[in-house]
Amino acid sequence: MNTSRFTSVALAALIHFAPFVARTFQSLPSLVHSPAGILLKWVLGAVAVTGSMHTVSAGSATLISPKSVTGPVGTRLSYQIKINDGQNRLPGSWMIGGKTFSSSGSTTVGMPAGLSMSLNTGIISGTPTKAGAFPTTLTGYENGSQRGSKLTFTVTFNITGTAIAPTLTTSPVGGTVTEGGSYTFRVSATGDAPLTYQWSHGISAITGATGASLTLSPLRLSDAGTYTVTVRNNAGSAVSTPVTLVVNPAPVPPTITRQPAETTLHVGESLSLSVGAAGTAPLSYSWKRAGAAIPGAANSAELVVPVLTADLADTYSVDVSGPGGLVSSLAIRVSVVPVALLSPVLDNAGIHLVAETIAGRRYALESSASLDAGTWSLAQEFTGVGASTEVIQAPASGSAQFWRYRVLP
């Protein structure tokens, strides 16, 4: 066997068993002060020194724990520095933030606010108090007093802030609108970004309604109901109080269902015109004479003129308006006929009297020997046959006669 190989193997074995031999040597007091004991003690010491000098160079030592750590403000965090140098040993001394440290005690130098490092365990722990990214550079030395091989590395602590849940500052408002129109709900909220929004109709989320406002257009009757919005972020959510949207049917434009009727009346009679209309209420009526509004005319489907005079003969119409629009009736003619007898003519057949009449109307012809009231008597009744009607009446003998006629109801 090669002598040098044997020597190397023997030395390796001696180094390996040196701790056991040393303990055995210490248990034999009689051997400690003998010449052989002194020689053995020297050899063991040399072996121990040889063993302690065995180390992995800085080039082969690596950081095996993560190089970044993430945690929120206010939550305890713990990070263990682990170095692979072949023996899983921690450094004998440190340099952190330009300051040197032994491998005992703890320090906050170079650490994020709220964290500290145990120098003998390599554990960085604590409760972060400030958000941000904090790179921390450390150098670990093999031996104390910053001697021997070293390894420099950087660990970044990413501390996130405490998230603030959403709070509604302006809530949606309900309303009443008309079918076919539009309506917009709006909400304002505070809280950490990003904020997300989801509008709901009743208990159902509205597809695509994910903004701070919701516009419905054109409105349908089915859009009526309650609406809410939920605002969310990573810290929580806030739901608005339900609000109600009332959607009324679209107004039906007014229509004329019955036109005012043309009429012919006598002076002194009462005029009554009426119109039939339909449409979304309320309906308003504006009566006109010759295209101009009649002063004092009632807002009614009926126009009443208590006493007609000859000058009121004209064209009449009415405008009907409502939520759905306006419609005008046809212009109809109102004719006013005087109550008058034309000059009588006397012949063998009797007295011929011509009265201004309205076809189809009934009249009473009366006579009197004087113009005093209460002395008139019925001579005959007759029916108008046109604008004028001739009435023949036998005269009374022996006295003067006065004649008149009146319109029967």
Helix (H) or strand (E) run with residue 37 in it: helix 35-52
Higher per-residue pLDDT: 61 or 320: 320
Domain 255-337 has CATH 1.10.10.10: no
Q: pLDDT tens across 102-137, in order?
A: 989 999 999 999 999 999 999 999 999 888 899 999
Report residue 200 as tokens.
């709901």
Q: What is the largest CA-CA distance in the chain?
A: 198
Report d(CA 379, CA 344) in Å as an integer. 15
- pLDDT value of position 342: 86
For the ranges 225-229, 269-273, 395-399, which has the lowest average pLDDT? 395-399
Task: Give pLDDT, residue 126.
Answer: 95
Give the residue-averaged pLDDT of 29-52. Answer: 40
Q: Decide if 62-160 and 255-337 have a common fold.
A: yes
User: Can you state the angle between helices 3-26 and 35-52, rounded to 10 degrees?
Assistant: 110
For residue 41, pLDDT over 60 is answered with no
Going 33 to 34 to 37 to 39, the CA torsion angle's sign is: positive
Predicted confidence (pLDDT) at residue 19 exceeds the cutoff of 90: no
Neighbour count for residue 231 (Cβ, 10 Å): 23
pLDDT band at 4 (very low <50, low <70, confident <90, very high): very low
pLDDT of residue 346: 82
Q: How confident is the model at residue 397 (pLDDT cuts 50, 70, 90)?
A: low
Residue 193 has pLDDT above 50, yes or no: yes
The candidate with the shortest Cα–Cα distance to 156, out of 124, 129, 127, is: 124
User: What tokens appear for 257 in the block?
Assistant: 């269902």
The token pair at 309 is 């005079």
CATH hierarchy code of domain 167-248:
2.60.40.10
- On whether the 62-160 domain is CATH 2.60.40.10, my answer is yes
Average pLDDT of span 150-155 = 92
Give the pLDDT mean for 305-311: 97
What pLDDT was estimated at residue 380? 95
Q: Answer with the residue of higher pLDDT: 57 or 222.
A: 222
- Concatenated DSSP letters of 101-136: EESSSEE-TTSPTTEEEETTT-EEEE---S-EEEEE
Q: How does pLDDT run across 324-362, given as a tens digit for each residue?
A: 999 999 999 999 999 999 888 888 888 999 999 999 999
pLDDT for 48 beyond 80: no
Ordered by start, the domain boundaries in the chain are: 3-52, 62-160, 167-248, 255-337, 345-407
Which of 20-24, 321-325, 339-343, 367-371 is least confident? Answer: 20-24
Would the pLDDT of 160 be above 80? yes
Which of 168, 176, 301 minimizes the C-alpha distance to 236?
Answer: 168
pLDDT given at position 226: 98
CA–CA separation, 108 and 120 (whole Å): 14
Q: In angstroms, rounded to a whole number, what is the distance separating the alpha carbons of residues 364 and 377?
A: 10
CA pair distance 304, 309, nearest whole angstrom: 13
Q: Average of pLDDT values for 92-105?
A: 91
Question: Binning pLDDT at 50, 70 and 90, where does residue 396 land?
Answer: low
Q: In one letter, which amino acid is 3?
A: T
In single-letter form, the type of residue at position 259 comes to: Q
The secondary structure of the chain in percent helix, strand, coil, rounded to multiples of 5, reads 15, 45, 40
Residue pair 73/132 in contact (Cβ under 8 Å)? The answer is no
Per-residue pLDDT tens for 265-279? Answer: 999 999 999 999 999
pLDDT tens, position by position, 313-333: 999 999 999 999 999 999 999
